[in-house]
Structure 1
Amino acid sequence: MSIVNIKKETIWQNSIFMKLFASYSVSMLGHWFDMVAIIILFGYVWQANPVMIALIPVAYALPHVLLGQFAGVLSDKFHKVKIMMYADFITAVLTVCLLFTNTPWMALVIISLRATVNVVHTPAQQGLIKLVVKENLIMKAVTLNGTVNQLAKIIGPFIGATLIGLVSPKICILINAIAFTISAFILLFVYLDKEMKRITTVPKNETALIEESFWGAWRQGWLIIFKRRVIVVSFIATFLGLTVIQMVDIQFPVLFRELAPHFPELTGWLMGGSGLGAVVMIIFLNRFETLKHFGWLIGAGMLLVGGGFGGVGFLKEGFNVLYPVFLCFIGGLGVGLLTITPQYIIQKETKEHEIGRVSGIFSSIISFTVLASPLMGGFLVQIFGVIPLYLSSGAVLLLIGTVLVTFNTFLFPEQKAEKEILAVDAK
């Protein structure tokens, strides 16, 4: 009698995805090196005024708000690896130009141009996962990318700040230029390999999108979303949740300069606690092949973040420093759920020729919260104060989370599609 060992394929055996993953990892790490360098350049080297510093996130986010939807159309029309490769090469060139910039205004222009070029990355990357990863491994791919994203937010600023202290902010900008160059060459290798190029190409019989007009393809993207309740509800819920989160997330320094004015490093500890929570949750989700009950998942994310923010609002002077760090860790767990679940929904609820447009629209919506929410939060703090804002934001998130969990079956009828697929297979 012979025993046959059947090994399940793992995501690590997918050579094309691992090359795309390497490209993404390198570029994300370089991006966060660059981010901390720019903040220090504006704040300490150029002594820019608060308004100029406030324009930095605008320069990053505004192109995504304005162009994210149209970048999704482009990623559906053309070869995704090719447009990502071009975007990385151009980003590297613009980053080198940033090295020779000595004024905040010129730096903002170059940052905006880079962000404009990079708008194509999110929809193209989501589309490539759909093309090259098997159905049962999509969850692994999404969580791996999410883990790298969160780790880069922690490692990049930490190492970058250390290098800046030893050398110069522009060394981190140079590292970003090198990182995007390496990323572009990895993508070039994928594109030049005939077999890899074939696999990363949407079959022509799948769609007539290439012949369709640009605006027609854009309208069709919105129709795809509105025809599928799971996508619509998840987009609305995520938008509402992130709007509230972004309103108060930026106000941590304001809160703790009132409660702990001689402990400025606490803000950095809280950011680290939140990032660690997100990483832990994403690594936990990586254990699963599929996700179900999306209302429970998104709702649980809201409840966790709401509990964290609400708890911070109850802090008094003389608090134990571990308490807010723990609360931010709890909130980070919720952020991990809110990061991964919508991405997984986009992968599961779209086809190969649709995912770029849907992902581009989602990216545009989320980027809008980055622009508008901090301004709303600052306005509300001026009127009501920072502690009432944290308490009310926590309450709103808890309410939204409770509604999503309670009405999961009605809001997210994902089981219907699964039953239909099983019925077809049975026939």
Structure 2
Amino acid sequence: MKQKTAPLWRPLEEKGYRRLFAGQLLSDFGNWLDFIALSAIIVYAWGHGSMALAALSICIGLPYVVVGPFMSVRTQRMPGKTLMIVCDLLRAGTALGLAFAPSLPVLLALVLVKYSVSATFDPLRQGAVKRLVSPAMLAQASSLGQMAANMTKIFGPAAGGALMSGLGASAPFFASGAMYALSALVLGAIPAWSGTGDEERKEKASLRAAYRHVTGRPTLRGAILFASAMFFLVFLYDGLFPLLTKEAGMDESRLGLLVGAVGAGSVAGALAAGQWSGWQRRPLAYMAGASLASGSLIVLVGLAAAGMLEVPLAVWLLAFAGLGFTGAQSAVPFGYVLQAETDDVTIGPVSALSGALQTSSMLAAPVLGAALAGWLGIGGVLIAVGGVTVLAALACRVTVVGGRKLDDRTKAEGLTP
């Protein structure tokens, strides 16, 4: 039975974290405001095709694989608050530059710079959470962060599309730049912290030390590997949703409803995980249970997509909302494990390593998913992915983690309550 814990909003009572959370909302919103505008300019304004869109995806994802881990080590030795503000200002500048990009190569270069800075910013933000939130509130902070990310994914692209329709293709970039500038202003009020000073702390901040830290903690290692595997499986079918709705006889408006249902379910899932967090002592088992439910839903969606089940729109919406809900139910415990099993030095490199592993999946899985769709059909891909997800979740829950609690070594070092 889930145990009721402290209210979800309790971390916001801390002034420093409240300002950090506001800065995250603004910067995440800026990340998504120009997301649709980038694709629209490439396809509609400049007339490029799928290869240009693939190049855009690479420029967005590659920095998290290459730049993030490297910079997470270098920035450990510098003032964290100042670097976060500099990152926001750099992103504001690149967003404004995108509004005036004259060609595809210039646009892609600016996108590469922008997301390289974002890959630097994210581990710094994780480190700031570690410093500003008490260990007892880490679960709630993880839920709030996940909720903010999901809300901006819903409203950011919609707002960007509305700005494009009303004010032109450049408007989302100006708005995105303004969001980053506001985030920098808000983050200027959080407490400052200095970089690592002594040699021991510098050694802990290295990627090699982060790797040793992960491999020496079974729960942390299992959470990263399991989350990366689930991330790969999700991206096998994520890009196939437009084709799925077309094959199911639904138009573009229905696709928007289904995507909105996923987003709404994600927000609800993050809220629920933060308010009822009896999963804290066995987060891996809970992640596996959420993925078991998610895999079962994917199989059902696949059966409907293949024409084996006849379902009305309301059922489609419920199923997609369920996918969002179960995804957040897994993501919040994962964020908690990252925070609970690291200290203020290792959180940045460990977070960057985890992000690099997951983003590598994002770069490889869509191509494989498209190839499988040509062989199995959209429904077949979903059924296969759902089945593999169920089997992986069962294996994780029964034979790998077995309901493992947070590691005794972690508790002994005082990294978690």
TM-score, normalised via structure 2 length: 0.90
Shift of 1:102: 2.8
Instruction: In structure 2, give the amino acid aligned to 1:277.
Output: G
Contact 1:304 1:333 in 2 (8 A): no
Query: What is the CA–CA distance in structure 1 between the aligned matches of 2:405 and 2:179, rounded to whole Å?
Result: 42
Pick one of 323, 337, 340 that aligns with 2:332.
Answer: 340
Q: How does 1:21-420 map to 2 (within 5 A)?
A: 21-190=21-190, 196-197=191-192, 200-201=193-194, 204=197, 208-210=200-202, 212=203, 217-260=206-249, 263-288=251-276, 291-315=280-304, 316=307, 319-407=311-399, 409-410=401-402, 412-414=404-406, 416-417=408-409, 420=412
Shift of 1:301: 2.3
Query: What is the CA–CA distance in structure 2 between the aligned matches of 1:419 and 1:117, rounded to whole Å?
Result: 34
Shift of 1:233: 0.9
Q: Deviations over 1:91-136 (max 9, x none)?
A: 1111111111132222111101111122112211111111111111
Query: What is the CA–CA distance in structure 2 between the aligned matches of 1:337 and 1:70, rounded to whole Å?
Result: 30
**Largest Rg, 1 or 2:** 1
Instruction: In structure 2, give the amino acid aligned to 1:143.
Output: S
Q: Could you tell me which residue of structure 1 aligns to residue 4 of structure 2?
A: none
Contact 1:67 1:119 in 2 (8 A): yes
Q: Deviations over 1:60-90 (max 9, x none)?
A: 1011111221122123222221211111111
Shift of 1:256: 2.2
Contact 1:138 1:289 in 2 (8 A): no
Query: What is the CA–CA distance in structure 1 between the aligned matches of 2:17 and 2:48, rounded to whole Å?
Result: 42
Query: What is the CA–CA distance in structure 1 between the aligned matches of 2:408 and 2:201, rounded to whole Å?
Result: 28
Contact 1:64 1:367 in 2 (8 A): yes
Query: What is the CA–CA distance in structure 2 between the aligned matches of 1:232 and 1:295, rounded to whole Å?
Result: 10
Query: What is the CA–CA distance in structure 1 between the aligned matches of 2:317 and 2:222, rounded to whole Å?
Result: 32
Shift of 1:203: 7.4
Query: What is the CA–CA distance in structure 2 between the aligned matches of 1:98 and 1:421, rounded to whole Å?
Result: 46
Query: What is the CA–CA distance in structure 2 between the aligned matches of 1:203 and 1:136, rounded to whole Å?
Result: 25
Contact 1:301 1:335 in 2 (8 A): yes
Contact 1:33 1:156 in 2 (8 A): yes
Percentage identity across paired residues of the two chains: 19
Secondary structure of 2:296's aligned partner: helix
Query: What is the CA–CA distance in structure 2 between the aligned matches of 1:257 and 1:122, rounded to whole Å?
Result: 36
Shift of 1:318: 6.3
Contact 2:77 2:195 in 1 (8 A): no
Alpha carbons of 1:49 and 1:414: their partners in 2 closer, same or farther (altered >3 Å)?
Answer: same
Query: What is the CA–CA distance in structure 1 between the aligned matches of 2:384 and 2:126, rounded to whole Å?
Result: 35
Instruction: In structure 2, give the amino acid aligned to 1:280.
Output: A
Q: Deviations over 1:264-285 (max 9, x none)?
A: 2222222111111111010011
Q: Could you tell me which residue of structure 2 aligns to residue 3 of structure 1?
A: none
Query: What is the CA–CA distance in structure 2 between the aligned matches of 1:135 and 1:213, rounded to whole Å?
Result: 20
Contact 1:233 1:412 in 2 (8 A): no
Query: What is the CA–CA distance in structure 1 between the aligned matches of 2:55 and 2:297, rounded to whole Å?
Result: 28
Q: Deviations over 1:120-168 (max 9, x none)?
A: 1221111111111111111222211111110011111222222221221
Structure 1 unaligned regions, length at least 5: 1-6, 191-195
Q: Could you tell me which residue of structure 2 aligns to residue 193 of structure 1?
A: none
Instruction: In structure 2, give the amino acid aligned to 1:321.
Output: L
Indicate the RMSD between aligned Cα atoms, in angstroms.
2.5
Query: What is the CA–CA distance in structure 2 between the aligned matches of 1:203 and 1:371, rounded to whole Å?
Result: 33
Secondary structure of 2:343's aligned partner: coil
